[in-house]
Amino acid sequence: MRIGELAKRTSCDIETIRYYEKNGLLAEPARNSNGYRQYETAHLDRLQFIRHCRSLQLSLGEIRVLLDLQTNPSSGCHEVDKLLDGHIAQVREQMASLQTLEQQLVKLRKQCQGPHSVEECGILQNLNEAADNHDCACHDEPPRTIG
C-alpha cells in the first residue's frame, strides 16, 4: 500500500508517518520501481500500535522503549510494567497540578460576581495586581519574579 492508503487506514497524517520513519519508530518501507514507498501489513500494525500508545499520551521515547522490548518476546515484562508505572505516576502528578489550577481559577472567578464594567471587573483587577507582583486571590503565595 502507498503512504496515502496507510494514512487513511490509520487516521494518521502523512507527515506524521514520515516523522515516525525519520525518527526510527517506523521502518522505512521499500520503494517500488517508480519510487513510491510500498508499505506492508507490518507497517500498518506498527503504526496502529504507535497511534494507540500516543492516545495514552505515552512519549515517543516511551514508545521506542516498548518497541525495543517487543523485539525480545520471550523476556519478562517487568520493564513494561516499570515503564507504565512511571507513566501512571506522571499522569497522577499532572492530575494534581490540574486540580490545583482548577482551584486557583475558581478562586479567581469568585473575584467577579455579577455584571460589572470591564473597568470594575475583579478578575482583571486581580490579574493586573498579580502582574505588578502583588498578592492575588488565586495563589496562596505572592507570584515569583523570573529572571
Positions of the chain with pLDDT under 50: 142-147
Strand 30-31 versus strand 37-38 pairing type: antiparallel
Question: In this structure, are residues 102 and 94 in contact, taking their beta carbons and an 8 Å threshold?
Answer: no
Please compute Rg for the chain using Cα positions: 24
pLDDT at 73: 87
pLDDT at 145: 46
Cβ atoms within 10 A of the Cβ of 138, count? 20
State the Cα–Cα distance between residues 51 and 112, nearest whole angstrom: 43
SS3 (DSSP) at 38: strand
Q: What backbone phi and psi angles, to 5 degrees, belong to 37?
A: -65, 140
State the Cα–Cα distance between residues 132 and 80, nearest whole angstrom: 48
